[in-house]
Structures are given as C-alpha cells and as structure tokens.
Structure 1
Amino acid sequence: MSDMITADLVDLDLSADTKEAAARALAERMAAKGRVTDLEGFLADVAAREAQMPTGLDGGIGIPHCRSAHVTEPTLAFGRSAAGIDFGAPDGPADLVFLIAAPAGADDAHLTILSSLARQLMNAEFTAALRSVDDPGRAAALIRGEAAEDAEASEEAPAAERTGAAPAPGPASASPSAAAPSSEDSAAGAGGAGRRAAARGPPPPGPPGGGGGRAGGGGGGGPLGSSPAPRWGGAGAGPAGAAADTTAPAAASGGADRPPFRIVAVTSCPTGIAHTYMAAESLENAGREAGVEVVVETQGSAGFTRLDPAVIAAADGVIFAHDVPVRDKERFAGKPTVDVGVKAGINRPGELITEVRGKAARGEATTAAAPTPVERAGEAGEGYGTKLRKWLMSGVSYMVPFVAAGGLLIALGFALGGYKINKAPSVMDHFVWTQTDSWAALLFQIGGVAFAFLVPVLAGYIAYGMADRPGLVPGFVGGSIALTINAGFLGGLAAGLIAGGVVMAIQKVRIPQALRGIMPVVVIPLISSAVVGFLMFVVIGKPIASAQKGMTDWLNGLTGTNAILLGALLGLMMCFDLGGPVNKVAYTFATAGIAVSNPSDSAMKIMAAVMAAGMVPPLAMALATTVRGRLFTQTERENGKAAWVLGASFISEGAIPFAAADPLRVIPSAMAGGAVTGALSMAFGATLRAPHGGIFVVPLIGNPFLYLIAIAAGVCVTTALVVALKTLRKAAPGTAVPEAGANAQMASADRKQPVAA
C-alpha cells in the first residue's frame, strides 16, 4: 500500500485565495500522481460535500474531503497558505488545508488511517510543527506520523515498510524544531495562524499518544492507522497515558476515594471521515482537562465498534455529537443526555461536558425511549407546532427522492412513447429490444412502481420521525391503506401521524421486564398496525378520501384569474425560505398532484409553476453578481458562479448564502421574482410531468418557450430589485469589511458561540 501523502502532495506555499481554488490546486497534485482519474468530477464531489456543511475548524484548519468514484486510492494533500483561506470556520481563515480523498469503496484500513489524521489535527503540537516545517518531505513525514530523521528514507522505502504495525513516534517527536517551534515561527504562521494556535492553549496533559478514554488515542499520537478499542480510563494506553487518566480525575472529583465523572459519547458526520474523529478527539481532550473520563464511539465510514454495555451502564452521562442518526440509540436510554451537531463537539466540547454534568446533578435522566431522529434537532421546550412541522418534514424528505426518480422516469416514458404510453401492455408480456415504444413503456412502468411508494414512504417516515424505528411498520401499513381507499396524499399524512402517536402511546405503558425483549419486534408492530388499520379503513378513511377528491376537483376547476393567483402564491412560498419548510409545503403540494399515472392538466400546471419559481432566486443572484459584482463580496461572487448551475438545476438552496448575508434585501426580492414567474407560468398554461430537473427537462414541458420567458422575467425582476436595494444601502460611518487578521484576532470570542450543526 503506497503512502497516502508524499512530498509531491505537499504545497507549503499555497497561493489560492478561495476554498475552491485551494481544492483545485491540491487536487491537481493528486491527479498528477494518478490518484484522481477525473479532476472535474472529483472537484464536484468535494463541492457537494462542502455544501452539506463548512469544513473549516477552529485553529486555522480547513479539511475539504469527500468519497468519490474518481479516486483510485485514499489520498491526502496538504497546503499551507500565507494569506489564509475562508473555509467557514468561526475564528476566521485557515492556513493549514488538508484535502482528503477516499475512494467510493474504500476499505476499513484506509478509512481508519484517514480518521487518525483527523485526530492528530486536534493536537496543538502537531499543527504548530506543520506551521514551522520548511520542507515538503518533512511535512509529509509529520502527517504520516514518522520521525523527521526518517523522512527521506521513507520517501524512498517500499510502501509495505512504511505501513507496518510497529508504533511510530507522534508528531510532537518529529524534531526539536518541529515539536517546539520558535515564537517567531508561531507568530509568523500565515494569516495569524500562530495567534490562533496560541489561543488554543497548552496541549492536554500527557504525551501525544496517551490519555483519554481511548487507549493510545488521545492527542492523535501513534502512527496513522491505529484504531484502539474504546474503554474506561487509560487501560492499555501505557504508563504515561494511565497516569494522565488516573490522577487528574481524582483530583477534580474531590478525593482519591471518589470515582471520576464518566461520560460516553457518540460522534458521526455525513461523510464519516474527518469530523467524526475530530469531535471524538476534542471531547476526549476536554474531558482530560476537566478531570472527566470520556469514552467515545465513532460511527464513521470505517465502521464502528459498539461500546461495551458495561461501559454504558457505568456512565454518568451521554453526549451525542452527530449529523446522521445515532445507530442503536436505545442503548443509552435512561441517562442524562446532551444531543448536538458534530461541529459543536469539535468547537465547544467543554460546554457540552459541563452541560451533561449539570443535567446529571439535577437528576435529568431520561426514563422513556431515546429521543427520535427528529427530536434530536430540536430545542428544549419547543412546542408541538414545531415538532409537528419537523415530523411532517421528516416524511417529506424521505419521499422526495421517490418523487424525483419516479416522476422523471414517467416523464421520459411519455417523451419517448407519447401520451398513450400509459395504455401499453406490461413489459413482462411484451418487450421488443429494438422498439422505442418498448423502452418508453419500461421507463413509464418503472416510474409508476416508484410512485406507488410515495404515500407509504411519507406515512412511514412521519411515524419514524415521531417514534423512531417502531413507527415504520404501522406507518407503512397506514400509508398503503391510504392508497387502497383512494385517500391519497392527505391519507398518508393522517396515517403517519396516527401511527407515530399510537407507537408513542404504547411505549409509555409500563410492562414486565420479561416482555421487553419482544416489544419492538412483535408487540408494538402487531398492536400499532391493527389500530392504524382499523382507524384508516373504518373511521377516518372515507372522510379523507372525500376531502382528497374535493381538492382535486377544485384544482381541475381553476382557470383564468384564480389560476394566476395560485401561481403567484406558490411562487412566493417557493422563494420565502429557499428549501425550508414553506418551500417544501409548496413543492409537496405540487408533487402530490402529479403522483398518479394520469395527472390532471391543472396538476401539471402547478408543478410547472412551482419548479419555475424555485429556479428564480439562485439564477437571479448569479446574474446580480455578474452585472454588479462590486455590490457583493469576493465569496459571494464565487458563490454566484455556482448559483448558475444550481438555479438551472432547480436547487433553490443555491441562493441561501446570499439570503443569509443580507436577508432583508435578498428574500423580498426573490419572493417578488418568484411570484411573477409563478403567475406567468400559470397564465401561459405551461405543464410539467417531471417533479425535478430544471432546464434539463425543458423538452418535457408544455409550452417550453413561454415557460422559459416566465423564468427569465422573474430572474430580471429579482436581479433588478436586489441591485437597486444594495445600491441604496448606505454603510454605517466608520465601518469596514474585516480583514483575515481581524477575524483571527477575534478567534477566542468566536469560539464561545454555538456552531450550527
């Protein structure tokens, strides 16, 4: 196995001024070594990951990363910037940039090595050494965890010799100059990086390889690739690690005879490569400083080792720092719990530890089932209205991919075979490889099968959002019944809410210990499905079916002014929160109308108006940054380039960066343009069978030329309003755009602020 990073993959004078340019510069080095087969495809995957959540971290670190089919083997590239590059970190620009590339099917060993780097980044000595090193080979050796004096030999040695199991010194032992950089080096760390490193405080007690709740895991010490099993204390960590774990907790707890406070934690992120392990390391380091024992279960891409049940049973509190659902979350029920996003685990671990200790002191242990996937994103004390919205959005978010896949397949079937393709016989009975109509029928029938899942998936995942996995069975059953009785979309909503409520009620019933093992797999599915089925078939099914038919008839009767007003209203909703709940309500309303084999003409007009309006905000922001670039920051101008593609693809979220920076000017302007486009689309009678696709499904649109005119009109309206409002804006006297150095000096204050997950 070749090294993931060599001197050729290190740029100590990275000249890029944006995160996109930095990723490209480092990716070009990967491509030159044959590690990346398609540069543009790989960069698109990096950008997609970056769009999920900024990859900047406190301390001047940027870690763009992704898993990609265009990567041949796990690879690291490192760049050091003199000016600093904005990766969205709270404390300002990053001067240390690590581009992490993992193949789509990377094996566990490779991903474990990637996770080890993520842990090292939490070690202040390691980052200080990287800021002072002046040779690419030495930098690569530091990142690999090798001694500096072995760097040159390592570059020459066979791969098998470099990846053996023998432990290697941690980065702190690389060399005297690297381990203890001079004050000049630290202060000169590009763009204020030295000040950020100093602001992080001294390194945690004990050597880089010891301490924490992980044997050998603390501080990122040891060679890349070590993956010790989680356990209490410093067992197996070596004498130094043990000392760090036994003396500090006892002192902090008020006496040697009193056991330390114990916390178990779970960390995870969407990619499972970097943030997962950085949060674990940050929590463990904060635990050592607070005299608390912390054991972390990292649920990353390399798989995960479940915490020993005895470890969980002995814990005094639980911290979940995650952006994807915690697996087997019920294991932690009954303990004081803090539930946050993964970046909170990285940026403010001390606050989380203090919070969970406070909950334990107040006896706030949960006795019911663990929080559901939707509840974990909420705030304490939020009302049922907020929870209801989140439950409904849970179902919608899982339903939308079925809508997109099924709708596009059906639309392609009609495009190839004409509007009579729905009368074609089953392809099981008749399929001719050389006939276009057969392929059209195949696409149409596959799309129809996908559409058949819409209501059951909606109902099932509404119930899942309310009651976790036990809600899936009655939710799917209720959704299927809604289809059977022609209750449609409204029936699915009702079935999901009923199923979740029934399961939550059953879970509150106290049952004997002997029966608890069969509750999730027998009792809850049986009782909840029976209750939901009875209510849907006998009690509420017929009224809901009648309401669904009435709404359909009303839509079919819309003409003239009423249709135009509806188009304007839908346009306003699509542009109000750019992918948020109001946007999703309008989109779901439109997709529900075409989620049948033969949608009405009115339903297809509504779908066309909704998609057209949703394209307006990002396209308008892209146009505004092009025609009046001086009104926008450099970052916004870069975002404007991406907004062209996002808007053309019907991704309204492409305008979010602009709305977040200037909501009072951008959002009203976007709503005005969306209303114009929605009204014109309805007035022109444009129709659309596909629920997604943007300009790429224009051939499937009725009256495509007028449809594009409607979009262009809305884009022009929004652009004109944004430019006019920004031009009229007067900057407050004495204000100026802060420079990178100012951001760096504000690091300590920014770190105190919570970070959105």
Structure 2
Amino acid sequence: MKFVAVTSCPTGIAHTYMAAEALEQAAKAAGHEMTVETQGAAGSAPLDAARIAEADAVVFAADVDVRDRERFAGKPTVTAGVKAAINDGAGLIAQAVKAAEDGTAPAAPSAPGPELASKVDGSAGVGTRLRQWLMTGVSYMIPFVAAGGILIALSFLIGGPEVAAKVGGGDFQGVTYPGIENVSDLMSQAGIAGVLFKIGSLAFEMLVPILSGFIAFGMADRPGIAPGVVGGLLATATGAGFLGGLVSGLLAGAVTLGLKKLKVPRGVAGVMPVVVIPLVSTLVVGFLMVVVVGEPIAAAQTGLSNWLSGLSGGSAWVLGALLGLMMAFDMGGPVNKVAYTFGLAALASGNYVIMAAVMAAGMTPPLGLALATLVRRNRFTPAERQAGQAGWLLGLSFITEGAIPFAAGDPFRIIPSLMVGSATTGALVAAFGATSPAPHGGIWVVGLIGNPLLFLLAVAIGTLVTCGCVLLAKSIGRDRAPAAATPETSTQAVAA
C-alpha cells in the first residue's frame, strides 16, 4: 500500500523528525510505501498533491494542529501523537492498513491550521494546562535564546571578554570603555566581534518578551500575544526578568481570556479582537506589571540571580546532580524542559556553569546507550542497535530524545540508569566549574565552553557510568539474550 503522513511536535525539533523516521522504517519493513511531511521548526515541504491522491491512508502523528489538513479530506486516517509513532511505528502502520482496507475514519475537512500552534489540551486539568502554557512559551523562546547565546559566545571567542564593555560601556580589568551608541560605528570601533555581540544581545533580550507573549498565546490564542509581549518588555524594564516574564504571560492570557468571554453588541463585536481586546488587555497587564507585581518579582529575581551566582564548590555539584537527574528522567518531556528552562534562567542572569551542567547531562543518555549497544550487542534488539548508531550523533548534538526508543521498551531498567549517568555528569561539570554561554549545540560549540577539557571529561565519565548502569540493569532478570529470538519475541521480551 501507499501511505502519507504528517509529523509535528510543539518545538518542531527532535520528535518531529524521529517520528517521521520511525514511520518510514516501519512502513518499509511491512512492505509498504510511506512519504512523510515534517512540519518542524525549519518549516515543511508540503506533500505533492498527486502523492496524497494515490495514498491508501493518512497517518497524523502530531501533538499540535496539522497545517492545511483539508488536503487529506476523504482519506482513511489514523491519528496519534509523535511519541506513539516513535515507540510503535509498526502499530500505526498496521492501523493504517486496516483503515485503508475498511475505508473507515475519513479525515474531516477543516480550515487551514494556524501558522502558530500550541500544545494545549483544553479538556486537561488545570495543572496539565498550566504546564502546557509554559511549555508553549518556552518552545517559541528557544530559537531566540539559541541564536543570541551562540552569537554572544562567538563574539567572546573572537574579541575576548572585553567586547561586552567595548560595546555596552563599563570597566574591564581597569580600563573604562565609553560604549558605542551609534550602531553604524560598531564595525569600525569594535570589529566583527562587536557586531556579533550587538546582534546576539538584541536577540537574547527578546527572551522574556517572547516567553511572556507565547505563554499568553497558549492561553488565549493570537489576541494574547500583544499584551504578553508588552508585559514581558515591562518585566525586563522593571528588573523582574525571567520570573516576571512567566507572571506577565499568565496575567496577559488570563485578562485576554476574560475579555474574549464578554458578551457585546453585534456592532461592537467586529472591533473587539482588533482594537478593544489588545487595548484593554495591554493596559491592564502593563499597569499591573509597573505598579503592583513588577517590584516584588524583581526582588525575587535578584535573589535567585544572586543565589545562582554564588553557587560554587560543594553547593554547585548538588544542583548539577539534581539537574542531571531531571534531564534524564523523561528525555525531552516536561521535567527535562523544567531543568533546561532553569538553565536558561541562569544563563540570563550571567551564571554559565548551570547551562553547561544541563547541556552535558542531556548529552550522556544517548551516548551511554550507544556505547552499551557496542559493548554488549546481545543485550539489545536489532532495532535498538540501529538506534544506538544514531545515538552517537544525537548525543553529541545535545538531543536527549535519542534515548527514547530504549526507554520506551524497557523503562524500569533504562530510565534509572540514565538518571545516574546524567547526575554524575551534571555534578562533575558544576564541580569542575565548566561554563557554557551557548544554550545548545553540544560538542559543536565546545570552542565556546570554558574549561572545555574538563567539560568533555565529565561527559565521558557520565557516558561510561550510563553504559555500566544500563548493562548491569540489563543483566538482572535476563536468562537469554533478546538477539537470539525472533523479531516478534524480541519485541515482547524488551516490552516485558
């Protein structure tokens, strides 16, 4: 049979493409053709209309709205989340075959999905929705942080740490710099390093406004963006920083939701989303941030920044270990994202050790599993050994999700092993005092990392610890190797 699929996750980075690969491999193994459209962070190449027309069924593996879904109207459809495709691609292909044979579950026509999407389940509980609102903001914020952080790190690498004082003004090692007010003078007075620093700084300054704006968007859709962004800008202006951005985003979303529910005359309804809602919501949120909540949150933000900046020696390794545990617990899930967001908050406050610990701890799970598949191949199924080959690149690139295929099949052995390895790495990085001004990139930004050899040593030790723990756990309760069984029994053994 011929199938088409669309994969999409909130961040549009790892899960989107891992789900696509899993579906393609599962279809090929079953003797079918599969063409996948990945609606990821880098955009998407739409499926050819002829390919859709000849498809026997459609698979939607998406955690956000599928854009232009009406293209698939009338086709038998299977709908699932991206993790279902990653963990059980063969199962989704089997469902697609059944749907095609039965001619059931036609795709309902719908209007084109919004350009902007959020992973918010309106039927979920308050706690779940709160987490989803926050993760929506983080998802849209990460590209700004990554671009700005890496550009700033490159400027330091080229022009030295004094480039910040040259561009922004201030003292550095006894020399006072007046700063550069005219942007057009950057190249002549501070060189390429100064240009990179200025661009990176501007991108990095968008961290809080974008976080705030898209938290509000997750709550109230597009009308929440304007008051959310303005609230985030005011959070920055009042010194409330990252914490202020969280609060202003929630405030903007709540105020906008309340305004959207107002019953107004038909003649006024037309101007509500264009004039009234953005005007009133921006005024209310701005007033609250300036007069009521900005100063207390600024005090809390200052306390957090001082605490992070003061961490050293004995206290730093404890925090590094805790963040390592969180990074490995769900490998790209909510707990992992909380740890990563904490690293971003530390980065924004000038503490680069925490970000280094978070990144290193996120690298070790795929690396440790990849090593384990080489050391004891007979403990892993052919599919896991193949995933291990990809794990080297994923781990080196700080894509923790590369460990998901292993954890999905054997969570009670794999997840604790990964947590031990990542905690070891995080603790060592913090104890070594390694730093990372870049919020992402893994091994590819090692030139920007402070104490790079110690950073790499911590990653290597964590990889070995992860590998050892995985192999030890795999030896418990195993009388025979899964590789000796048939593919069907291998899957059952791993699931057990």
- What band does the TM-score fall into relative to the shorter chain? 0.7 to 0.9
Quote the offset at 1:725 in angstroms: 1.2
The residue number in structure 2 matching 1:378 is: 121
The residue number in structure 2 matching 1:593 is: 346
Cα shift readout 1:370-422 (whole Å, capped 9, x = no counterpart): 9x9546x5373x21001000000000011111111100000000000000001
Q: Which amino acid is 2:433 matched to?
A: G
Contact 1:119/1:277, CA 8 A, preserved across alignment = no
Structure 1 residue 409 corresponds to structure 2 residue 151: yes
Question: Given the superposition, is the C-alpha separation of residues 400 and 446 from structure 1 closer, same or farther in structure 2, using an over 3 Å criterion?
Answer: same
The residue number in structure 2 matching 1:672 is: 420
The one of 545, 550, 565 aligned to 2:318: 565
Q: Which amino acid is 1:95 matched to?
A: G
Other structure's SS at 2:331 match: coil
Contact 1:116/1:277, CA 8 A, preserved across alignment = no
Cα shift readout 1:303-347 (whole Å, capped 9, x = no counterpart): xxxxxxxxxxxxxxxxx9999xxxxxxxxxxxxxxxxx9x99997
Structure 1 residue 519 corresponds to structure 2 residue 272: yes
Quote the offset at 1:736 in angstroms: 8.6
Alignment of 1:235-254 (within 5 A): none
Structure showing the higher helix proportion among its residues: 2
Other structure's SS at 2:31 match: strand
Q: Which amino acid is 1:698 matched to?
A: V
Contact 1:466/1:501, CA 8 A, preserved across alignment = yes
Structure 1 residue 393 corresponds to structure 2 residue 146: no
Quote the offset at 1:93 in angstroms: 3.4
Quote the offset at 1:723 in angstroms: 0.8
The residue number in structure 2 matching 1:153 is: none
Other structure's SS at 1:729 match: coil
The one of 208, 214, 220 aligned to 1:467: 220
| Aligned Cα root-mean-square deviation (Å) | 3.8
Q: Which amino acid is 1:458 matched to?
A: L
The residue number in structure 1 matching 2:477 is: 729
Quote the offset at 1:97 in angstroms: 2.7
Contact 1:321/1:344, CA 8 A, preserved across alignment = no
Alignment of 1:65-76 (within 5 A): none
Alignment of 1:109-258 (within 5 A): 114-122=48-56
The one of 419, 438, 457 aligned to 2:161: 419
Quote the offset at 1:702 in angstroms: 1.6
Q: Which amino acid is 2:248 matched to?
A: A
Structure 1 residue 618 corresponds to structure 2 residue 366: yes
Q: Which amino acid is 1:456 matched to?
A: P
Q: Which amino acid is 1:592 matched to?
A: A
TM-score, structure 2 as length reference: 0.79
Question: Given the superposition, is the C-alpha separation of residues 665 and 609 from structure 1 closer, same or farther in structure 2, using an over 3 Å criterion?
Answer: same
Q: Distance in 2 between matches of 1:717 and 1:741?
A: 29
Question: Given the superposition, is the C-alpha separation of residues 101 and 594 from structure 1 closer, same or farther in structure 2, using an over 3 Å criterion?
Answer: closer
Structure 1 residue 94 corresponds to structure 2 residue 30: yes
Question: Given the superposition, is the C-alpha separation of residues 707 and 392 from structure 1 closer, same or farther in structure 2, using an over 3 Å criterion?
Answer: same
Contact 2:331/2:401, CA 8 A, preserved across alignment = yes
Contact 2:57/2:96, CA 8 A, preserved across alignment = no
Structure 1 residue 282 corresponds to structure 2 residue 282: no
Question: Given the superposition, is the C-alpha separation of residues 595 and 344 from structure 1 closer, same or farther in structure 2, using an over 3 Å criterion?
Answer: farther
Question: Given the superposition, is the C-alpha separation of residues 653 and 447 from structure 1 closer, same or farther in structure 2, using an over 3 Å criterion?
Answer: same
The residue number in structure 1 matching 2:379 is: 631
Percent identical residues: 48
Cα shift readout 1:682-728 (whole Å, capped 9, x = no counterpart): 11111111111111121222211111111111111110010111122
Question: Given the superposition, is the C-alpha separation of residues 268 and 506 from structure 1 closer, same or farther in structure 2, using an over 3 Å criterion?
Answer: closer
Q: Distance in 2 between matches of 1:551 and 1:503?
A: 30
Structure 1 residue 428 corresponds to structure 2 residue 183: yes
Q: Which amino acid is 1:688 matched to?
A: S
Q: Distance in 2 between matches of 1:269 and 1:346?
A: 21
Contact 2:76/2:107, CA 8 A, preserved across alignment = no
The residue number in structure 2 matching 1:685 is: 433
Quote the offset at 1:595 in angstroms: 2.4
Q: Which amino acid is 1:378 matched to?
A: D
Contact 1:650/1:694, CA 8 A, preserved across alignment = yes
Other structure's SS at 1:728 match: coil
The residue number in structure 2 matching 1:750 is: none
Cα shift readout 1:22-49 (whole Å, capped 9, x = no counterpart): xxxxxxxxxxxxxxxxxxxxxxxxx996
Quote the offset at 1:50 in angstroms: 4.0
Quote the offset at 1:119 in angstroms: 2.8
Q: Distance in 1 between matches of 2:95 and 2:57?
A: 18
Quote the offset at 1:269 in angstroms: 4.1
Q: Which amino acid is 1:623 matched to?
A: L
Contact 2:422/2:462, CA 8 A, preserved across alignment = yes
Q: Distance in 2 between matches of 1:734 and 1:707?
A: 35
The residue number in structure 2 matching 1:315 is: none
The one of 440, 451, 454 aligned to 2:193: 440
Quote the offset at 1:513 in angstroms: 1.5
Quote the offset at 1:555 in angstroms: 1.6
Structure 1 residue 494 corresponds to structure 2 residue 247: yes
Q: Distance in 1 between matches of 2:140 and 2:295?
A: 26
The residue number in structure 2 matching 1:51 is: 18
Q: Which amino acid is 1:502 matched to?
A: V
Other structure's SS at 2:440 match: coil
The residue number in structure 2 matching 1:574 is: 327
Q: Which amino acid is 2:18 matched to?
A: A
Q: Distance in 1 between matches of 2:479 and 2:459?
A: 32
Alignment of 1:100-111 (within 5 A): none
Whose Rg is larger? 1
Question: Given the superposition, is the C-alpha separation of residues 714 and 429 from structure 1 closer, same or farther in structure 2, using an over 3 Å criterion?
Answer: same
Cα shift readout 1:231-278 (whole Å, capped 9, x = no counterpart): xxxxxxxxxxxxxxxxxxxxxxxxxxxxxxxxxxxx9747x7xx9755
Question: Given the superposition, is the C-alpha separation of residues 513 and 115 from structure 1 closer, same or farther in structure 2, using an over 3 Å criterion?
Answer: same
Contact 1:615/1:694, CA 8 A, preserved across alignment = yes
Q: Which amino acid is 1:659 matched to?
A: A
Quote the offset at 1:623 in angstroms: 0.6
Unpaired runs of 5+ residues, structure 2, are 1-13, 39-44, 59-63, 83-91, 109-113, 168-179, 492-496
Question: Given the superposition, is the C-alpha separation of residues 736 and 644 from structure 1 closer, same or farther in structure 2, using an over 3 Å criterion?
Answer: closer
Q: How many residues are treated as equivalent by the alignment?
A: 440
Other structure's SS at 2:239 match: coil
Q: Distance in 2 between matches of 1:606 and 1:624?
A: 28
Question: Given the superposition, is the C-alpha separation of residues 734 and 567 from structure 1 closer, same or farther in structure 2, using an over 3 Å criterion?
Answer: closer
The residue number in structure 2 matching 1:297 is: none
Q: Distance in 2 between matches of 1:423 and 1:402?
A: 22
